[in-house]
Amino acid sequence: MAGGVPPQREIQIQVHSKKGGNSVYPVEPATTTAGGGGGPTGVYREIKHFKKWFPWLIPTFVVVNIVTFFVTMYKNNCPKNSVSCFAGFLGRFSFQPFSENPLLGPSSNTLEKMGALNVNKVVHEHQGWRLITCMWLHGGVFHLLANMLSLLVIGIRLEREFGFVRIGLLYIIAGLGGSLFSALFIKSNISVGASGALFGLLGSMLSELIINWTIYANKIAVLATLVVIIVINLAVGLLPHVDNFAHIGGFVSGFLLGFVFLIRPQFGWVSQRYASNAYSTSAKPKFKVYQMVLWVISLVLLIIGFTSGLVMLFRGVDLNDHCSWCHYMSCLPTSKWSCKTEPAFCMSEQTSSQLTLTCSNSNKTRSYPYSNLSTSQIQGLCSQLCR
């Protein structure tokens, strides 16, 4: 070239759709020659800080959840352990009666055996693993379908953007946060489902938008859409028999984890790193000050939150004793439904050809023309009576 000036290395900025809006990120030109002797072609490759990943972990999580549900139904074996079943043609995979489980799934007794979150067993029988295993169990077909469809929609997009390591860790830790928060409030019932981890992914999308604010176009529209989705999903958790404490705990954990795991370098730093040194002026910081502040604050809050939560859980602390209104965060009573979710207990009286059960919660009494029923069959009838 004239004057011996070296060619400047170019950083190309491309625009890609992201979260319903647009995001921009740089790609590096691949200077290959056409035919072995021409000039550089217009082929670009993504630089490593913004590369696209092939999503395989989230689909694997979906498969694991589905397989676990089939194993749970096999273990449940409704024809053997219950007096009546729904969809009996499915054999041992048939469902508990609608009056016992309207989600088309197993009994609560089976879920507990498979690893559902039971605070009493976690605290007094040293079964802390239930804080993790409950994430892979579901109460029924409807519960499983809703969670897995949401996981595919949200999770694949995040894994493609940030890779399987960060999203996998975020999913597991947020799920643990949801289980931990739930266990501090719900002491008498079991809890299952991937909803806490899913809300963690949803929370991370919000924090990722905030900490990487400068790479987005249509920022306000994207933020408004996310907030509406989050509010609607949390509002659904106010219905009875939904563990909204797990949703809230998972969301807050995921929101903080997003600041830690999903931070991205600024374009100025990226451009300077991949450009020719001859054209570098002053050094540019990799992250802005506000990004580092959010990163540090979030990491500190996560450490404090998980440590204090685990200490309170294993000391048997019930946060309802310290917050008289907090139970409204999980269920809002109305004239249409009640939020009383105490576990069902029944008094039984057996004669030669008749079983009489009395629900301890509602004092309902019903007689059944059965004799010699197993314990699991009586528990199933009790659950139906007390609903």
281 pLDDT band, cuts 50/70/90, is low
Per-residue confidence at 380, pLDDT binned at 50, 70, 90? confident
CA 363 from chain centre, in angstroms, equals 38
Phi, psi of 368 (to 5 degrees): -125, 140
| Catalytic residue selected from 82, 191, 247, 253 | 247
Work out whether the CA dihedral 169, 171, 172, 176 comes out positive or negative: positive
- Identity (one letter) of the amino acid at 120? N
Q: In which residue are the tokens 């991205």 written?
A: 264
Residue 278 above 90 pLDDT? no
How large is the average pLDDT for residues 81-110?
91
pLDDT (tens digit, 9 = 90+) per residue, 164-176?
999 999 999 999 9
Dihedrals phi, psi of 383, to nearest 5 degrees? -60, -40
Q: Is 124 an annotated catalytic residue?
A: no
Is 360 catalytic? The answer is no
Report the alpha-carbon distance of residue 199 to residue 135 in Å, rounded.
12
The β-bridge relationship of strands 365-368 and 355-359 is antiparallel
Q: What is the C-alpha to C-alpha distance for residues 105 and 66, in angstroms, rounded to an integer?
A: 12
Highest mean pLDDT: which range of 25-34, 190-199, 368-377: 190-199
Q: Which of 154, 174, 163 lies closest to 62, judged by CA?
A: 154
Q: What digits encode the pLDDT tens for the residues 323-351? A: 989 888 888 888 777 677 666 677 777 77
The Cα–Cα gap between 313 and 338 comes to 27
Which range has the worst mean pLDDT, 4-13, 305-314, 359-368?
4-13
Please choose, from the candidates 171, 77, 176, the residue with its C-alpha nearest in 3D space to the C-alpha of residue 134: 176
Marked catalytic residue, from 94, 107, 182, 195: 195
- Identify the architecture of domain 57-277+284-329 in CATH: Up-down Bundle (1.20)
Q: Give the closest residue to 171 by CA, choosing from 143, 150, 145.
A: 150
The band of 381, judged by pLDDT with boundaries at 50, 70 and 90, is confident
pLDDT tier at 25 (50, 70, 90 boundaries)? very low
Residue among 83, 41, 14, 32 nearest 375 (CA): 83
> Cα dist. 207→248, 253, 259, 319 in Å?
15, 11, 6, 27
Q: What is the pLDDT of residues 222-260, one digit of tens each?
A: 889 889 989 998 888 888 888 999 999 999 999 999 999
CB 249 within 8 A of CB 178: yes
Q: Any idea where the domains of the chain sit in the sequence? A: 9-50, 57-277+284-329, 346-386
Amino acid at 24: V
**Residue 217 burial (CB count, 10 A):** 12
Vertex 14 angle, CA 8 and 27, to 5°:
50
